[in-house]
Amino acid sequence: MKLARRFFVGFALVGALAVLGWFSLPKPPLLDRISFSRRVYDRNGKLLCLTLSDDEKYRIFTPLERISPELIRATLAQEDRFFGKHVGVNPIALTRAAWHYSLGHSGRGGASTITMQLARIRFHLNSRTVAGKCTQIFRALELERHYTKSQLLEAYLNLAPYGGNIEGIGAASEIYFRKNPRKLTL
């Protein structure tokens, strides 16, 4: 009986520490200190010039409400169909990926959620190592703790790589399709 009681007390203590740790996570920057490109249009609204950001990227900040709902749905379907249902990590996908890793099947699993991808991009993480993946998971939990799903999705869509030095749907839409991201279709 004493052993069961000690186990329960230990389990409760670990749980309380986890909750305390969760609420004490510091608020990480989301898009702070990220530079964006400048655009120059003619009087008819045609893009004449798009400058590079400070870090040599084409990146146009685009609020979530100015992005095509079809593109948002397609991104969620392709990258993280459970985005609205997890706290930054998908435990089932992580378990599957860990299993494949333990069997030596590298490159399989696709366990990174949109929030984890955002953490990797935002904090320049190498997620191909176990330590890097653990840091990515921690940072994803940190982001989820302090930001709404809409804020996270908006940041992801503004920082996601779209080939070469093009980042974010705003720049990709303008460069590849000469369209405002709101007008994109499937």
pLDDT digits (tens, 9 = 90+) for 27-69: 888 999 999 999 998 999 888 999 999 999 999 999 999 999 9
Residue 161 DSSP code:
B
The tens digit of pLDDT for each residue in 130-170 reads 899 999 999 999 999 999 999 999 999 999 999 999 999 99
Average pLDDT of span 6-13: 76
Place of tokens 């590079």: 52
Percentage of the residues of the chain whose pLDDT score is greater than 70: 96
What is the per-residue burial (b if ≥16 Cβ within 10 Å, else e) of 22-31? eeeeeeeebe
Q: How far apart are CA 176 and CA 178, in angstroms?
A: 6
Q: What is the CA radius of gyration of the chain?
A: 20
Residues 6+ positions from 39 with CB-CB distance below 8 Å: 47, 49, 50, 51, 60, 174
What residues does 40 pair with on adjacent strands? 49
Average pLDDT of span 81-103: 86
